[in-house]
Amino acid sequence: MSSSGPRPWTHRLVQALSLGVVLAILLALSQFGPAADALGGTTAAVGLLLLVGVLMSEVLDLIHLPHLTGYLAAGALAGPHLLHMVDHETVGKLSQVNTLALTLIALAGGLELRLDTLREVKKTLIRATIVQSSLGLVGGVAVFLLARPFIPFLLAVPMSAAFGISLLWGVLAISRSPSAVLAILSQTRASGPLTRFSLAFVMSSDIVVVLCMAGAMVVARPLIEPGAAVSLQSFEALGHEIYGSICVGTTLGVLLAMYLRFIGGYLILILVLFGFGFSEGVNYLHLDPLLTFLTAGFVVQNFSSSGDRLLHAIEETGAIVFVVFFATAGAHLDLPLLRTMWPVALVLCGSRALITFGCHWLSSRWANDTPVLRRWGWSSLMSQAGLTLGLSLVVERLYPEFGTPFRSLVVATVAMNEVMGPILFKMGLDQSGESGKAAEPVIG
């Protein structure tokens, strides 16, 4: 949802009172009578998250917090751990909305990767990728090993296995969140060097992270499982996934560009078809949906004249979808787990932030970046979300002996980064003077 400029205090007061009334009603319904069961349906949950999410985001805007923070807070409040208005089963059912949202996020990300923008930030992008992916990974491994005395499942394994597990953690530490970056750019309507760098780096970093994880798994396996041979099958599967995703994405991009040129109508239906239809096909082929639809958007933007038109359609379609997506993410936050693991999670999050900042300081001076990028380029690199959780699930399945507590720690750290990252990025955009400079919002 886009910012529309300052609003009178009476308007904000009405929104704050409305939020209080809504939360009071929800609290009453959660405590008395069978009405709470009726609110457990998926349709009611969508409406509930929309209402509370929009009101919460407007109220938090008073203290200059991003709308994304309001959506996350709304989901956490209405979710299964606080007001219990949306239970675990309903949150699971909302995954279909998440599928559509992730498709739109990937398409919008590809549409924002213009060739002229990539050429403009090429030197900065390459050097930032090298430093963040190498020193950032090494720093993440070192911190995780140093925290070993406070991580029970690491104490239960020999040092070689602990190093292998730390290697997997190090890869997760360099992952970012395209969805959070696009959501903040949507709200702030930002434009400038920081915006262009953030889009290019965060969108391309997912590919780097997937490659690094495949390599880390190959190296870590004989360390974690003594006697296991180093296998190159992971690289073969990874090559299939990346090559196939780019090929299918290119094909979808060409088809979408042809449709936009020769037909052009019913774009909302086409986007829904992409989100619910083609995404299922991509998953069936064991390809990466993010890379596939990112490639499709890139092709439409750079090899046709319909990129801005498609971006506008995503803006209209995503206005509601993204509120539900991030509110659902808030409902997914495991608050009891966070209360249990917050000390070590806080240490890992804080050290990751310092390492990310240090790597950015080094890479920005290596690339001789502008003062704005030197000062605020790190701000978009703190958020984590879907890719990190997805890779942690892969680790859990491959190594059941420590996978569950490992993923629990990942969930706790992602929860912290998911809350603080967008706040820091919005602060960076505001302080650099880039907020509100775009003619149109990036997405919904």
Contact 148, 155 (CB under 8 A): yes
Which residue do the tokens 């930032």 mark? Answer: 128
What CATH number belongs to 97-432?
1.20.1530.20
Every domain of the chain and the residues it spans: 9-93, 97-432
Distance, in Å, from the CA atom of 419 to the CA atom of 202, rounded to the nearest integer, reads 17
HSE at residue 33, side-chain half, CA atoms within 13 A, is: 8
Contact 53, 70 (CB under 8 A): yes
Q: Looking at residue 2, what is its pLDDT? A: 43
Residue 255 has pLDDT above 50, yes or no: yes
Distance, in Å, from the CA atom of 103 to the CA atom of 301, rounded to the nearest integer, reads 16
Angle among Cα 146, 148, 151 to the nearest 5 degrees reads: 140
Least reliable range by pLDDT among 13-22, 111-120, 132-141: 13-22
The proportion of the chain whose per-residue pLDDT surpasses 70, expressed as a percent, equals: 85
Classify residue 27 by burial, with Cβ atoms within 10 Å: 0-12, 13-18, 19+.
middle
Measuring CA to CA, which residue among 120, 180, 145, 165 is closest to residue 386?
Answer: 180
- pLDDT band, residue 146 (cuts 50/70/90): very high
- Record the tokens describing residue 418, joined without a space: 């998911």
Instruction: Give the model confidence (pLDDT) of 65-77 as tens digits.
Output: 777 778 878 888 7
Contact 203, 113 (CB under 8 A): yes
- pLDDT band, residue 349 (cuts 50/70/90): very high
Contact 100, 354 (CB under 8 A): no
What count of other Cβ atoms lies within 10 Å of the Cβ of residue 44? 14
Least reliable range by pLDDT among 5-14, 122-131, 190-199, 425-434: 5-14
Contact 272, 100 (CB under 8 A): yes
